[in-house]
Amino acid sequence: MFESVLVANRGEIAVRVFRTLRRLGIRSVAVHTDADAGAPHVRDSDEAVRIASYLDIEAIIEAARDAGAEAIHPGYGFLAENAAFARACSAAGIAFVGPPAEAIETMGDKIRAKRTVAAAGVPVVPGRDEPGLSDEQLAEAALAIGLPVLLKPSAGGGGKGMRLVREEGELTDAIASARREARASFGDATLLAERYVGNPRHIEIQIFADAHGGAVHLGERECSLQRRHQKIVEEAPSPLLDEAARERMGAAAVAAARAVGYTGAGTVEYIVSADRPDEYFFMEMNTRLQVEHPVTELVTGLDLVELQLRVAAGEPLPITQDEVALRGHAVEARVYAEDPARGFLPTGGRVLSLDEPAGEHVRVDSGLAEGTEVGGSYDPMLAKVITWGADRAEALGRLDRALASYTLLGVPTNVAFLRALVRHPEVAAGRLDTGLVERSLDDLTGTAASASAPPEVLATAALERMLALETGDPDPWAVPDGWRPGAPAWTPWIITPSGGDPVEVRVQGRAHDARVAVGGDAPVPASLRADGPALILGFGGRTTVFTAAREDHTLWLGRGGRTWALAEHVRAETGAAASTAGDGVLRSPMPGTVLAVKAAEGDHVTEGQPLVVVEAMKMEHTVTAPVTGVVAQLPARTGAQVALDAVLAVIESADR
């Protein structure tokens, strides 16, 4: 076995590989760019080396040499399926933890792969796959196969460049579009045409082979829950297959691996008709560890990274096919930095608060930590939540509960969407196909919508601002409760949920004993108190606990797998208060501390009269009354912290 291994990757897969290296007592080496210098995978390694790019083969080889690494694990993505990288490792005398370069090349080309496995007796989708087909020949092939057909780029995967053609009139535009995307994505515009399988299910077989002639399969994974050909939720075993089908597909996968002299971990992917589960066709082979490998690990009890390392070190597989047994059921959900309520647009930001689920039969593979900056330079997948159960229903239920306890504040994610998906009736029943998610998007995104915030969330945001301004001074003039002789006044706030419309929230009283009116709703008894990172809300007789974090003007709240980013805007002016910017409203010119308040609510003031003094970075700034009138609201309190543009006072003009 190796003494030192470099992982040529980042994020959750690097952290996951380091976990196995640590258990085996193998020294780990990380590589990182400047942006990742403080990333979790760097902190988890025994040694880290800076590189300019995760795609720089020469730099990674040099880093391995300098660190004394005997092997390089590529993870997935980046250079994991790059034959030139595998050859460079071999030339440098460094073991590549993956298959031979020749196998990568063969299986990386869909046309060659299809022909190779077909020669080995593996069923392939009917179609036409000669290299160099012209547009006219592709169109003729599509019509000969019979519409609908699937146009696919030969050189890559991930759904890029793939086009489904149902009508003859769509062919010309579809071919041109597919070629453009294939050329842009893979540098190769070669296309093939295949028969489109109706109600398709995506089922893949995990295989392992060693250099001593040993080869086994470890059962299947169902990966049919996809959006735009990207997997979202995976499980093992598939609810579709029986033992006989599993053995047939597994034997075919092993035959495909043997056909190319494969060693290490690989995945043979099949398309299976939901209507005819006995009919399966080879799609492609992934010559690396898969993102979804944990579900196989949970049902087999095997560490696939350890098996990879042992095979790469020249050891024979420690198991035979007869010793492979599947126990129970496992499900994995991918946590992405994306906003389902906004068409799954990529998101980013700094992780302000992170609480990942734990417990019996719950596993999280994550590359996150509080303070991690999530940008747009890399894949948006942040983590994976995986659960095991004695049966499928137990595994799904446990996954739902785990996602409900997943809290990440500061970066919008798809966690609420995942909860809606795993609770979907068709998913619960195992009636899956690759179009299910797209057909159900309206329901799934509606259930998980982050653009709307319920009243209790908006109330919490307003009360949190009241709580932040309270000083503990028993003087009634020192608390932001709108106190005045006669009766308490209402303090209005404007709260805007991310992606939603501004909502006026009015508060009467102190944060711990208030009445709150959200929008046009009737006032409700409410209270709020802080307990560490938690905010405990009493609202209309119910108690709700939120995880909270603040970043500048935005309050982040999390509960039950959902998160809300709530921006505090200018407090709403009431009655005769000014409604235009600067007319009667005093705003802080900078974030800082209130040093002095020189008026009280109800006072008559004149335009230009000093009212509030704000200090920041040892500089004082005096804020004066913008108009002559009466101080209607005075949320500014001595000693309180204020944000840029925070409202300090509202003056009702004497002209009104």
Contacts (Cβ under 8 Å, ≥6 apart) of 61: 72, 88, 89, 92, 94
Give the number of other Cβ atoms within 10 Å of residue 3's Cβ: 11
For 104-123, write each residue's pLDDT tens digit.
999 998 889 989 999 999 99
pLDDT band (50, 70, 90) for residue 129: confident
For 74-91, write each residue's pLDDT tens digit.
999 999 999 999 999 999
By C-alpha distance, which of 68, 19, 66 is closest to 45?
19
Q: Give, rounded to a whole angstrom, the gap between the first and last alpha carbons of the chain.
A: 84
Angle (CA) 21-25-30 rounded to 5° is 40
Q: Which CATH architecture has domain 4-97?
A: 3-Layer(aba) Sandwich (3.40)
For 398-457, write each residue's pLDDT tens digit.
999 999 999 999 999 999 999 999 999 999 999 999 999 999 999 998 865 544 799 999
* Burial class of residue 245 in the structure, from the number of CB atoms within 10 Å of its CB (0-12 exposed, 13-18 middle, 19+ buried): middle
> Could you give the 3-state DSSP secondary structure of residue 364?
strand
Evaluate whether the domain defined by 338-448 bears CATH number 3.30.470.20. yes
The owner of tokens 């020294």 is: 27
Q: Which residues of 208-243 are buried (b: 16+ CB within 10 A; e: fewer)?
A: bbbeeebbbbbbbbbbbbbbeeebbbbbbbbebbee
By C-alpha distance, which of 77, 70, 111 is closest to 9?
77
Question: Is pLDDT above 50 for 172?
Answer: yes
Question: Do 111-121+201-327 and 338-448 fold alike per CATH?
Answer: yes
Which stretch of 136-145, 385-394, 541-550 has the lowest confidence by average pLDDT?
A: 136-145
Q: What pLDDT, on a 0 to 100 scale, did the predictor assign at position 212? A: 97
Dist. CA 628–CA 305, nearest whole Å? 73
For 213-255, write each residue's pLDDT tens digit.
999 999 999 999 999 889 999 999 999 999 999 999 999 999 9
The CATH class given to the 126-195 domain equals alpha beta
The owner of tokens 């690396």 is: 288
Q: Which helix (H) or strand (E) holds 469?
A: helix 455-469
Q: What average pLDDT is seen over the chain? A: 90
Q: What pLDDT, on a 0 to 100 scale, did the predictor assign at position 159? A: 75
Q: What pLDDT, on a 0 to 100 scale, did the predictor assign at position 586? A: 84
Q: What pLDDT, on a 0 to 100 scale, did the predictor assign at position 615? A: 74
Distance of CA 70 to the CA centre of its chain: 33
Q: Which helix (H) or strand (E) holds 335?
A: strand 329-336
Q: What pLDDT, on a 0 to 100 scale, did the predictor assign at position 296? A: 98
Evaluate whether the domain defined by 585-653 bears CATH number 3.30.1490.20. no
Q: Is the pTM of this model over 0.95?
A: no
For 461-476, write each residue's pLDDT tens digit.
999 999 987 755 555 4
Question: Is pLDDT above 80 for 283?
Answer: yes
At the fourth CATH level, the homologous superfamily of domain 111-121+201-327 is: ATP-grasp fold, B domain (3.30.470.20)
pLDDT band (50, 70, 90) for residue 204: very high
What percent of the chain is modeled with pLDDT above 70?
92
Which stretch of 143-157, 323-337, 350-364, 483-497 has the lowest confidence by average pLDDT?
A: 483-497
Question: Is pLDDT above 50 for 578?
Answer: no
Question: Is pLDDT above 80 for 493?
Answer: yes
Q: What share of the chain is helix, strand, coil (3-state, %, to 5)?
A: 30, 35, 40
Structural domain boundaries of the chain?
Answer: 4-97, 111-121+201-327, 126-195, 338-448, 455-569, 585-653
Q: What pLDDT, on a 0 to 100 scale, did the predictor assign at position 461? A: 96
Dist. CA 555–CA 457, nearest whole Å? 10
Q: What pLDDT, on a 0 to 100 scale, did the predictor assign at position 575? A: 34
Dist. CA 271–CA 282, nearest whole Å? 7
Q: Which of 357 and 348 is assigned the larger pLDDT? A: 357
pLDDT band (50, 70, 90) for residue 573: very low
Q: What pLDDT, on a 0 to 100 scale, did the predictor assign at position 342? A: 80
Dist. CA 255–CA 282, nearest whole Å? 12
Question: What is the torsional sign of CA 160, 61, 285, 246?
Answer: negative
Question: Is pLDDT above 90 for 552?
Answer: no
Give the number of other Cβ atoms within 10 Å of residue 192's Cβ: 21
Averaged pLDDT, 291-295: 98
Topology at the third CATH level for domain 455-569: Glycoprotein, Type 4 Pilin (3.30.700)
Which stretch of 292-301, 378-387, 486-495 has the lowest confidence by average pLDDT?
A: 486-495
Question: Is pLDDT above 60 for 571?
Answer: no
Q: Which of 591 and 325 is assigned the larger pLDDT? A: 325
By C-alpha distance, which of 253, 250, 257 is closest to 100?
257
Averaged pLDDT, 578-584: 45
Q: What pLDDT, on a 0 to 100 scale, did the predictor assign at position 358? A: 95
Which stretch of 409-418, 481-490, 525-534, 576-585 has the lowest confidence by average pLDDT?
A: 576-585
| Range of 104-118, 306-320, 346-360 with top mean pLDDT | 306-320
Whether the Cβ atoms of residue 334 and residue 384 lie closer than 8 Å to each other: yes
Q: What pLDDT, on a 0 to 100 scale, did the predictor assign at position 592? A: 67
* Burial class of residue 149 in the structure, from the number of CB atoms within 10 Å of its CB (0-12 exposed, 13-18 middle, 19+ buried): buried
Which stretch of 39-53, 66-80, 462-476, 523-537 has the lowest confidence by average pLDDT?
A: 462-476
Q: What is the token pair recorded at 574? A: 């009431």
